[in-house]
Amino acid sequence: MILRIEEGIDIPIYQQIRNQIVYGISSGELAAGEQLPTVRALAAEIGVNVMTVSKAYQTLKAEGYIVTERKRGARVREKMTESKRLSLVNRRELERIISEARLSGMKRADFIQVVDQIYAEVES
């Protein structure tokens, strides 16, 4: 999986790393049990501070997407916990996105169509 960091946007780099790994897991690009690069290796590969990658991995671990072991490193969790609900943080983010869409003049039906399209893209 190739991670791309976007400079000059409001999303912190550790969050960009976290988001791309979550997308990789969801899309199947990262398989259950797959070994992730070491913190140092990933930091060197994408040109960021080791602590930035460490924070991304800590966040992913706290959210239940990855597991870490002292000798084996970080890997994708074998079985994800399915709550069938958005977390409070994700719900607030979705509310922000909907608010911005409404302020831009987007109609509800058009928004739902975009969501359906993106959901289908992630599924495939």
Per-residue pLDDT reduced to its tens digit, 8-28: 899 999 999 999 999 999 888
Question: Domain of 22: which CATH number?
Answer: 1.10.10.10
Burial class (CB in 10 A: 0-12, 13-18, 19+), 88: exposed
Domain total in the chain:
2
Per-residue pLDDT reduced to its tens digit, 47-88: 999 999 999 999 999 999 999 998 889 999 998 878 888 888
| Beta-bridge partners for 75 | 35, 67
Domain range for 95 is 88-123
Residues 63 and 94 in one domain: no
Residue 63 inside a domain? The answer is yes
Residues 51 and 21 in one domain: yes
Residues 20 and 63 in one domain: yes
Residue 83 inside a domain? The answer is no
Residue 6 inside a domain? The answer is no
DSSP symbols for 48-69: --HHHHHHHHHHHHHTTSEEEE
pTM of the model: 0.82
Count of alpha carbons within 13 angstroms of residue 11, beta-carbon side: 12
- pLDDT confidence band for 124 (50 / 70 / 90): confident
